[in-house]
């Protein structure tokens, strides 16, 4: 009987049709701010597999916490289509450079300086954003979000569109919408209720309070969490987060909540003193890729398609209405909120005086450029 290798050699066709949309390097669409790397696949024992790869899609905008510009969104759509069509690719690893941020969502500088006050332009942008989220949810390969740091706003949304998330435990998660003039309708309002239930989704989507990777694991937003902080060469859990007990004296769950007061400050000092090492994160990601490799490919794709449906159906039901509303929102609250973040500083703050705005609207004050200018952090001082 012929061996599998002999059969492959004898029967594999000499020409394969290329199903990619365009034949351009991902990096060429965005000056390298999104990188596409085919990294050799590994077996569970760590040995490298000939001819098979994992596609790493990497956001490379560290100065702006790996937020995505319009060009980066275009490149990301192409990257996921490329990975989906590439016969040699078995899994996609979606991540960012560095250890501070996976992604903090849309680029607030571009939002404030180009899209603010231009709903027709933002509608075009949101076509691209929607296609980016759909490209993740429609990828024929399993998608792992390697959470190399904070996952905030639209970064949390594209992260939740992935099939698996593995995070290091210094990463924070959360939305920014109603604090920065938007609503988390770029996927979070579709995915959160499905993933963590309506009550916790409401807390995250409206109050916009960040939560730790340990809490994200407890809530079910991520599949796994590993330490990244080394003190004297030894990995330790995030010292700003409660990880040494599950309940407080009243029987309430405190595991994964942030420490407070002097304990939190001491934890921050420990992080400053320590060394950040993402080797355990990469080990966990490679282990997951190796497990995914050890399956039938078509059955894997079918399982992905079915298990994605709760998120995908919610997303498809709402994404076009969300796009239209987000465009129009650029006339008032998004224009105000993203300008405030972009023009604010640590000293002036980066958010408006929400009470002042509400007081004005409560007496029917109309939205004018003058009102918006008066709400900017520097003006309010
Ligand atoms: C809470 C933060 C994520 C982290 O805060 P902190 O640790 O205090 O860092 P900062 O000093 O705020 O930021 C450091 C520098 O990074 C720049 N930065 C941070 N985030 C962005 C961003 N998203 N775009 C551009 N630049 C960013 C920041 O300006 C600092 O640089 P500087 O030169 O000014 O010193 C906090 O950073 C934060 O809240 N960031 C903004 C989060 C945000 O609002 N994202 C957009 C949400 S809306 C969105 O993503 C959407 C997606 C699609 C659907 C529609 C939509 O609205």
What is the per-residue pLDDT for 257? 98
Q: Which residue has the tokens 């569109």?
A: 161
The CA 66 to ligand 1 mean position distance, Å, reads 9
Q: Which residues of 212-251 are buried (b: 16+ CB within 10 A; e: fewer)?
A: bbbbbbbbebbbbbbbbbeeeeebbbbbbbbbeeeeeeee
Binding site membership of 156 for ligand 1 (Cβ less than 6 Å): no
The CA 108 to ligand 1 mean position distance, Å, reads 6
State both tokens at 154: 């639209």
- Alpha helix stretches (DSSP H) within the chain: 4-11, 70-85, 108-110, 119-137, 154-161, 177-180, 188-196, 198-202, 213-219, 261-273, 279-293, 297-329, 333-343, 354-362, 369-374, 377-380
What is the per-residue pLDDT for 380? 67
- Measuring CA to CA, how many Å separate 317 from each of 89, 136, 296? 30, 17, 31
Q: Among 104, 178, 179, name the best residue to mutate to test ligand 1's pocket (greatest count of ligand atoms within 8 A of Cβ).
A: 104
Binding site membership of 165 for ligand 1 (Cβ less than 6 Å): no
Binding site membership of 65 for ligand 1 (Cβ less than 6 Å): yes
> How many other C-beta atoms are found inside a 10 Å radius of the C-beta of residue 337?
27
- Measuring CA to CA, how many Å separate 65 from each of 38, 105, 206, 256? 24, 9, 22, 23
What is the per-residue pLDDT for 22? 86
> How many other C-beta atoms are found inside a 10 Å radius of the C-beta of residue 31?
13
Q: How far is 146 from 159, CA to CA, in rounded Å?
A: 9
Cβ-based burial of 270 (10 A; exposed 0-12, middle 13-18, buried ≥19): middle
What is the per-residue pLDDT for 224? 98
Tens digits of pLDDT across the chain (381 residues): 999 999 999 999 999 999 988 888 999 999 999 999 999 999 999 999 999 999 999 999 999 999 999 999 999 999 999 999 999 999 999 999 999 999 999 999 999 999 999 999 999 999 999 999 999 999 999 999 999 999 999 999 999 999 999 999 999 999 999 999 999 999 999 999 999 999 999 999 999 999 999 999 999 999 999 999 999 999 999 999 999 999 999 999 999 999 999 999 999 999 999 999 999 999 999 999 999 999 999 999 999 999 999 999 999 999 999 999 999 999 999 999 999 999 999 999 999 999 999 999 999 999 999 999 999 999 866
Q: How far apart are the first and last CA of the chain?
A: 83
Q: At 152, give phi and psi (nearest 5°).
A: -125, 145
Q: For residue 55, list its beta bridge partners.
A: 38, 92
Binding site membership of 154 for ligand 1 (Cβ less than 6 Å): yes
Binding site membership of 227 for ligand 1 (Cβ less than 6 Å): no
Model ipTM over 0.95 = yes
Q: What is the pTM of this model?
A: 0.97
What is the per-residue pLDDT for 83? 97
CA-closest candidate to residue 148, choices 104, 106, 105, 100? 100
Paired sense of beta strands 164-168 and 143-147, if any = parallel
Binding site membership of 152 for ligand 1 (Cβ less than 6 Å): yes
């Amino acid at each position: 009987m012929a061996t599998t290798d002999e059969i492959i050699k004898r029967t594999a066709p000499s020409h394969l049709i290329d199903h990619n949309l365009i034949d351009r390097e991902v990096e060429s669409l965005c000056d390298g701010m999104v990188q596409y790397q085919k990294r050799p696949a590994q077996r569970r024992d760590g040995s490298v597999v000939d001819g098979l790869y994992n596609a790493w899609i990497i956001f490379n905008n560290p100065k702006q916490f790996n937020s995505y510009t319009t060009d980066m969104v275009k490149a990301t759509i192409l990257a996921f289509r490329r990975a989906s069509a590439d016969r040699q690719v078995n899994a996609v690893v979606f991540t960012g450079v560095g250890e501070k941020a996976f992604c903090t969502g849309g680029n607030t500088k571009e939002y404030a300086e180009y899209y603010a006050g231009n709903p027709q332009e933002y509608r075009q942008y949101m076509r691209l954003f929607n296609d980016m989220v759909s490209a993740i949810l429609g990828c024929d390969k399993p998608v792992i979000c390697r959470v190399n740091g904070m996952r905030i706003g639209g970064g949390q949304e594209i992260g939740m569109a992935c099939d698996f998330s593995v995070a290091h435990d210094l990463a924070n998660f959360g939305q920014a919408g109603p604090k920065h003039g938007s609503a988390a309708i770029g996927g979070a309002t579709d995915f959160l209720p499905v993933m963590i239930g309506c009550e916790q989704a409401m807390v995250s989507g409206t109050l916009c309070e960040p939560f730790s990777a340990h809490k994200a694991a407890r809530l079910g937003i991520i599949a796994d969490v590993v330490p990244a902080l080394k003190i004297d060469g030894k990995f330790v859990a995030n010292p700003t987060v409660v990880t040494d007990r599950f309940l407080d004296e009243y029987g309430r769950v405190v595991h994964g909540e942030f420490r407070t007061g002097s304990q939190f400050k001491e934890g921050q000092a420990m992080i400053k003193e320590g060394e950040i090492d993402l080797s355990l994160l990469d080990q966990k990601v490679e282990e997951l890729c190796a497990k995914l490799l050890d399956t039938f490919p078509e059955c894997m794709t079918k399982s992905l398609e079915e298990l994605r449906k709760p998120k995908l159906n919610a997303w498809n039901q709402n994404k076009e209405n969300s796009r239209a509303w987000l465009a129009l929102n650029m006339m008032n609250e998004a224009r105000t909120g993203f300008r405030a973040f972009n023009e604010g500083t640590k000293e002036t703050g980066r958010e408006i005086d929400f009470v002042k705005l509400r007081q004005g609207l409560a007496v029917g004050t109309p939205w004018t450029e003058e009102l918006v200018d008066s709400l900017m952090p520097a003006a309010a001082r």
